[in-house]
Structure 1
Amino acid sequence: MMSDMIWTDPGSPVPREKAHSYQPFNWPAGEPFFLTPPHENAVLPALSGVIEGRRTQRSFGHVSLTQLSQWLWLTGRVMAVGHSEYGFPLTQRPVPSAGAIHPIHIVLSLSDQDGWQLYLPDMHALTPLLISEQTRSEIRDELSPVIDIQNGIAVRFIAEPGKTSAKYVNADSLIWRDAGALVGQMALVAEALACNFCPMGITGHDWCARLKLEGRLAGTGLAVFGSR
């Protein structure tokens, strides 16, 4: 006997008649560490082979800075910038985003460092977050009920809903779709780089709540990225 489906309708998004102006969140962060962009002649496998070969894997080795740079370059960097009336620029990136707004921040726990690093897509750089620091072992223990991150990179997808809401009414589903598009691209690029990638089922919103940032930021998922 099948139970009744429970579905919360997020409402259908529509552009606002008059756009809102939004001031983006100012992350408490340290000095940026610039990643070296991939060589322009770097060769990747054919897309058809990547699609056929992609599998979710749960073994995660150490990721080199070269691998991390190429992975972020092909999934998250800013490629072009455009003007907007929303209080922040629109950007073109490797993944699609509703209204070219890109509200999802990429926050990383590196295998050889404590704390969390924020990816700066306009600079292709990492910057340490100046928040209550978690050791790497504490991060691993926190996520262990879901998955053993081993020596991989734990990835948080942290949304800034106010950005998408500046343009759209009922923006929530657009934000979730943006997060999904980013996760899908990351999985394919990881396979192209002969690395492993595993999304988690949890949202990670409790992290925002612990930092008292839930009024501005929202957790929209986690994943692990690691070498083979």
Structure 2
Amino acid sequence: MTPLTVRLEGGEVIASDDNGRTARLDGDIGQQILEAWQRAEPKQGPDLPSAGALTAIGEAQRLRPHLTAEVPDWRANYDGPRVALGAHASEASRPLAEILAGRRSQTSWSTPLAGDVAAALIRTGRVAGWRDGPDGYVVSQRPAPSAGGRHPLDLELWAGDVSGLVPGRYSFDPLTCELVLTDSSPADGLAELGRIVGAAEPPPAAIVAVAQTQRTLSRYPAGMSLIWRDAGVLLGFLHLCCADLGLASCIVGNCGVLVHRRSPLVVDVGSVVLGGPPLGDPRPVAENGPGSARLGPNDLAAHAVVVDLSRDIRPADARRRHPS
């Protein structure tokens, strides 16, 4: 008998096999499975975590690449006012051995400089190059590796108190290294992340990994475990970049609590909360790092296209600028 993976998505039942064949179970079959699931009482006790682990292991063991006609494009159109980061990103860095030796998870912060936050985004998320894959998918090269070169994770910056940057929720465009304003209020999300890590107050900022799951599932139909692995690598890279820049940061294992999209296949799969080093922090920082005069608190506001929510945004501000 061919093993099947069954998923419930928005009231529909979807089944797929190891070869990547996928079908929606409409009518009586799908309805019976859905009703049986809704009637089932979750088993309590020590066997429940074990059952979840075995399910995830079983899914991972069935991973097979599969060419599909459905090829998503990660070069999406980001609509909204833009903030250019490249010219203002901090450039200082320290030896890797020193960064690893001094790395710590921290949940107390001061106000970070926009240039340091920009550097963490660019060093971790930028696209260095791309090529056409065997199924037509545009495979990109980025600092963090990803299964099959699919890179399902988009980065969002939730800036509450970042010196030199107007508060808001921003998407990071990995091709142009720009922030695109998507929402003016990150306060609720930052407060939730602060509660999750048990911080005394919300973090000044957070970088949220948002999974566009179809990028991976279109090639690996049973590949959700690959997305979790990609998330762990990417968030680890972010955390180390923060340590290099002298930022205080902590990885947060949030999932499905911050990002609300129409599609159930778009979900937050983790974050890095961050801020400037707490007062009195003895850790070394790189030359020209936080606290230096190279980038002052108002440099971005004076020289970059920082969003002013009090003015009308012209359509030209939302133009998409990526190579075709």
**Given residue 123 of structure 1, which amino acid in structure 2 is its aligned partner?**
T
1:82 aligns to 2:131 (yes or no): yes
Distance 1:212 1:173 in 2: 23
Which has the larger displacement, 140-149 or 114-123? 140-149
Q: CA deviation at 1:29?
A: 2.8
Q: Could you tell me which residue of structure 1 aligns to residue 122 of structure 2?
A: 73
**For residues 146 and 206 of structure 1, what CA distance do their matches in structure 2 show?**
11
Question: Does residue 122 in structure 1 map to residue 175 in structure 2?
Answer: yes
Q: In structure 1, how many angstroms separate the alpha carbons of the residues matched to 2:171 and 2:135? A: 23
Q: How does 1:40-189 map to 2 (within 5 A)?
A: 42-112=91-161, 113-129=166-182, 133=183, 135-147=185-197, 148=199, 150-189=202-241
CA distance in 2, matches of 1:134, 1:33: 14
Provide closer, same or farther for how the CA distance between residues 72 and 144 of structure 1 changes in structure 2, counting only shifts above 3 A. closer
State the TM-score, normalizing by the size of structure 2: 0.61
SS in 2 for 1:207: coil
- Name the structure 2 match of 1:195: 247
2:86 to 18, 36, 43: 36
Structure of greater relative contact order (alpha carbons < 8 Å, 6+ residues apart)? 1
- The residue type equivalent to 2:174 in the other structure is P
Distance, in Å, in 2 between the alignment partners of 1:127 and 1:87 is 27
Provide the secondary structure at the position in 2 that maps to 1:75.
helix
Whole-angstrom distance in 1 between the partners of 2:229 and 2:84: 29
- Equivalent residues in 2 for 1:14-25, closer than 5 Å: 14-16=64-66, 18-24=67-73
Distance 1:223 1:151 in 2: 10
Q: Structure 1 residues 225 and 87, CA, compared in 2 at 3 Å: closer, same or farther?
A: farther
Q: Give the conservation status (yes or no) of the 8 Å contact 2:124–2:238.
A: yes
SS of alignment partner, residue 191 of structure 2: helix
TM-score (norm 1): 0.84
Change (3 A) 1:151 1:171: closer
Please state how far the C-alpha of 1:65 moved relative to its aligned partner: 2.3
Name the CA shift for 1:134/1:86 in 2 (closer, same or farther; >3 Å).
farther
Question: Is the CA contact (8 Å cut-off) linking 2:127 and 2:142 kept in structure 1?
Answer: yes
Q: 1:206 aligns with which of 257, 260, 285?
A: 257
The change in CA–CA distance for 1:188 and 1:194 in structure 2 (over 3 A counts) is same
1:28 Cα deviation after fit: 6.1
Q: Does the Cα contact within 8 Å between 2:253 and 2:269 map onto a contact in 1?
A: no
**Structure 1: which 5+ residue stretches go unaligned?**
none
The change in CA–CA distance for 1:87 and 1:114 in structure 2 (over 3 A counts) is farther
Compute the displacement of 1:165 (Å).
1.6
Aligned pair in 2 of structure 1 residues 31, 43: CA closer, same or farther (>3 Å)?
closer
Name the structure where helix makes up a greater proportion of residues: 2
Report the count of equivalent residues.
Answer: 219
